Amino acid sequence: MPTNITKPYSPSPFDIAAYVESLKISLKDGEIKDKNVAKTIENMPAPIRIKSELSYEECFMIFETVRWAWKEITGQDIIELAKVKQSPETLIGNYWMLKNGLTFHGVNHYTVIKQNIDVFAKLLNISPFVIHEKLSAPPEQIIKTIIDNGGVRVFITKDKRAYFQMNDKIYGEWGRNKVKKLDFKNKIVKLIDKSIDYNGWKSGITILL
């Protein structure tokens, strides 16, 4: 059963809609394997309904379910996670790593970009207009664009397995050394060629570090 939320926390319908949108994208991208969690996410109302039609009480109940789904996927409480700044060795879930090891966390990789457009544009030297254009296309397009321009896609499981996607230039400049220094059970890097089509985590040449 979903856990209860303490009363001081009161997310807006727009916040809840964003969480639901993120979970549905993760499900579509094949990142959620648990059948019960997947079915729960499938049954969540559309984000546009949450923002425009549902009552406060209905939104609050949906967020309880969102919080439960997040904990089932990552093992961590979505509220508590936002309060604690973690070291790289304690990360769980979806992250983007940019130059100098700067990390951004979110429900999924698409949403992290959407919530930090200006930062990604500045650090990766991408036009904000290009990012907005790619965000309106299937999620794979914006993820491939970020990787092509120097972002490192990261997913870390509860049992300390870490997966990385990056282009070969970043791998040679700093990505390999950064990954080797991280203390994870298994570290799997997938090198992404700019010239090939991108198909999520299935894409790339696999390197074990």
Position 40 confidence tier, pLDDT thresholds 50, 70, 90: very high
pLDDT of residue 100: 60
In the numeric block, which tokens belong to residue 197? Answer: 């089509």
Would the pTM count as exceeding 0.75?
A: no
Given this model, what pLDDT does residue 24 score? 80
CA–CA distance, 176 with 51 (Å, rounded to integer)? 43
Residue 187's pLDDT is 92
Exposure b/e, 121-154, CB count within 10 A at least 16 = b: bebbebeeeebeebeeeebbebbbbbbbbbbbbb
- Is residue 3 within 8 Å of residue 67, measured between CB atoms? yes
pLDDT digits (tens, 9 = 90+) for 111-137: 889 888 888 988 899 998 999 999 988
Is the pLDDT assigned to residue 54 strictly greater than 50?
A: yes
Maximum C-alpha span of the chain:
52
Q: Using pLDDT thresholds of 50, 70 and 90, give the confidence band for residue 101.
A: low
Annotate 171-183 with three-state secondary structure: HHHHHHHHHHHCC
pLDDT of residue 83: 43
| Lowest mean pLDDT across 22-31, 109-118, 137-146 | 22-31
For residue 127, the model assigns a pLDDT of: 92
Q: Tokens 């990261």 label which residue?
A: 154
- Please name the residues in contact with 193: beta carbons below 8 A apart, sequence gap of 6 or more: 167, 168, 204, 205
Which residues are paired to 161 by β-bridges? 186
**Rounded Cα distance, 202 and 198, in Å:** 8
DSSP, collapsed to helix, strand or coil, labels residue 58 as helix
If you average pLDDT over every residue of the chain, what do you get? 82
Give all strands of the β-sheet with 186-192 in edge-to-edge order.
103-106, 93-97, 152-156, 161-167, 186-192, 205-208
**Residue ranges of domains in the chain:** 13-82, 88-208
pLDDT digits (tens, 9 = 90+) for 169-198: 999 999 999 898 888 878 999 999 999 889
List CB contacts of 134: < 8 A, sequence separation 6 or more.
141, 142, 145
For residues 117, 120, 124, 130, the Cα torsion angle rounded to the nearest 10 degrees is -20
User: Residue range 39-48: average pLDDT?
Assistant: 90
Look at 58 and 4; give whichever has higher pLDDT: 58
